[in-house]
Homo-oligomer: A and B are copies of this chain.
Amino acid sequence: MTLTQAAPRQRATLPRLHNHASLVVHGQDRTGIVAAVGNVLHDYGANIVSLDQYSDNPQGGNFFQRTVFGVDDLKAALPDIDRDLAAKLGDGLRFTLRDLSVPQRVAIFASKSEHCLLDLLWRQRRGELAVSVAMVISNHPDLAEEVRSFGIPFVHVPSTDKPAAEAEHLRLLQGNVDLLVLARYMQILSGEFIERVGVPIINIHHSFLPAFIGAGPYAKAKERGVKLVGATAHYVTEDLDEGPIIEQDVVRVTHAHTATDLQRRGADVERAVLSRAVQWHSEDRVIRHGNQTIVFP
């Protein structure tokens, strides 16, 4: 399998982002950060398209900033901008600088459920997600044909031998992707895998008020007569389903919905929430901080 042979149409770059970069600054708040960033970008004749900034506590809190800017001949200028920012921002502040004309490379893990996976592939093809989908990996072969019809490689890695599967996953992913998305993958990732894969992982799971722990959550939600079912997209950490929340949404249900209906309505929310989370992540709008996220609009 040659992972680089994905169909060209999925490589589409959002044209307006040519010669544009995102800059994300995150760290300990102090006075002068805006001036420092502004001065460096001004030195390179950069035009700031958008700038969002948030401080969680004006007295010694944390600072979060996302800037999108354009400069002529961005590729040539980026290393210099990077160097100057490092010099001006100094310790206590981390930053990432990214050429927005290069889409982030994503791998999607799926199982048998298609709803989240197809929604991502379809939006990517329509140009709504600023990512390229490098591959889809599934522990079941069912969705192979569907995925390949999008011109995207599909790799079947059975989950029967988990250590072997994770080794195969790492071999496929390392160096090839910037983001891993679990589109209803339904398998628990080992802490070692999360550590070694080295890229952010986004998961989607159903959510209820109140929460229903354990197996058969939709049956339990039906039994309790909930009026809303929801979904939560979050970054994966070793604490299962407890990582920083990126996005949530709910949909209304009634007593007339069966447990199957709840599941279908839930699937609609899941695919919408996961797609938004992936989109925002891929546009560098999401900053992780402790167990929460800052999401710039």
A: residues with CB less than 8 A from B are: 20, 29, 31-39, 41-42, 45-56, 58-59, 65, 70, 114-115, 118, 122, 126, 128, 149, 207-211, 223-228, 230, 232, 244-250, 254-256, 264, 268, 272, 290-295, 297
Contacts of A33 in B (CB 8 A): 38, 48
Chain B: which residue is nearest A206 at the CB level? B209
Contacts of A210 in B (CB 8 A): 207, 211, 232
A41 vs B34: C-alpha distance when bound (angstroms): 9
Is B223 a contact partner of A292 (Cβ separation < 8 A)?
yes
A117 vs chain B, min Cβ distance (A): 12
Assembly of this chain: how many copies?
4
* Given A54-B255, A223-B290, A225-B292, 14 extra CB contacts under 8 A: A34-B34, A34-B37, A35-B35, A37-B38, A47-B59, A49-B55, A50-B53, A51-B53, A52-B53, A115-B126, A208-B209, A210-B232, A225-B291, A226-B245
Is A245 a contact partner of B227 (Cβ separation < 8 A)?
yes
Chain B: which residue is nearest A297 at the CB level? B297
A-B complex: 7 closest residue pairs judged by Cβ atoms: A225-B292, A35-B38, A34-B38, A207-B209, A51-B53, A35-B42, A38-B38
- The residue that A294 contacts in the complex, of B32, B226, B255, with Cβ under 8 A, is B255
Is B50 a contact partner of A70 (Cβ separation < 8 A)?
no
- Write 11 A-B pairs (CB below 8 A) sorted by A numbering: A32-B38, A33-B38, A34-B34, A49-B55, A128-B264, A208-B209, A209-B209, A223-B292, A225-B292, A225-B293, A227-B248
- The residue that A230 contacts in the complex, of B41, B209, B244, with Cβ under 8 A, is B209
Is A49 a contact partner of B58 (Cβ separation < 8 A)?
yes
A230 vs B264: C-alpha distance when bound (angstroms): 22
> Which of A56, A114, A115, A210 is the most central at the interface, judged by chain B CB atoms within 10 Å of its CB?
A210
Is A31 a contact partner of B42 (Cβ separation < 8 A)?
yes
Is A295 a contact partner of B250 (Cβ separation < 8 A)?
no
Is A291 a contact partner of B31 (Cβ separation < 8 A)?
no
